[in-house]
Amino acid sequence: MFGYFEGNREVNEAHVRNLMESFTEKQLSVPIVVDEQFRVGDGQNRLEACRRLGIPVYYIIISGLTLKDVKRLNSNTKSWSWKQHMDSFCDLGYEDYITYKEFFNSYELNHTECMQLCLGHTSLRKGKRKGQKTMAKAFNDGQFKIVQHGKAIEQANMITEVKPYFDDFTHHHFVRALIHLFNKKQDVFNHSVFINKLAKRNPKLVHQGNRNDYLRNIEEIYNHGARNKVRLFTYTD
């Protein structure tokens, strides 16, 4: 009888089990929301819990319900995670999200840094101009567009090359420091030289509290034993 909206988030198995346990004690008559085609807009987990327990499910019909309405309904209960937004847009055939999901799953990097790699900058906004949406908001709204896929893969691979020498190589401040060097200091920063210096383990990369301190740490390692020193960090960067 009931169907689902394409692009809606999937049933949460843990939540269904919790609801089943709760309904066994007492089922509260909280209706699910469906459209005129009986596609569930809100209450997928409640529906699944009732189905497994073999108990009635209450519902109300809202004609003309859209996926945008579904997300609005869901946000009033349990907010969608960025992964659920991503999966939703993948299900709807958004090519940038399909490509991004494959990219994200290929590395150990965090979501924010993966977006920054794909966009080619370390701003937390969608673009570099002030007043634009944050990357996270644009991503969740379906407006994410990959700017540099090939370069993102290349840079993610270079970041991963640090792993044997630094356990905290996925730390967001460190990753943003490297992205800054890749994009802003490519004329003086040679990643292969940096990896060779890391292999000597003196001096070492150590955990830092912000991007600038990582840049100083990287500069110290990069210049160690070098005849010609380079500046990888300035306060104007």
Question: What is the per-residue pLDDT for 165?
Answer: 94
The CATH class that applies to domain 3-79 reads alpha beta
Tens-place pLDDT, residues 187-206: 999 999 999 999 987 788 99
pLDDT of residue 95: 96
Query: How far is it, in rounded angstroms, from Cα 61 to Cα 32?
Result: 9
Q: Which residue carries 């908001």 as its tokens?
A: 137
pLDDT of amino acid 19: 85
Low-confidence ranges of the chain (pLDDT < 70): 29, 75-79, 124-133, 235-237
- Pick the closest to residue 205 from 224, 230, 179, 182 (CA basis): 224
Domains of the chain, residue spans: 3-79, 81-147, 161-237
Q: CA gyration radius for the chain? A: 24
- Chain centroid, CA 144 distance in Å: 11
Orientation of helix 95-105 relative to helix 82-91, angle to 10°: 130
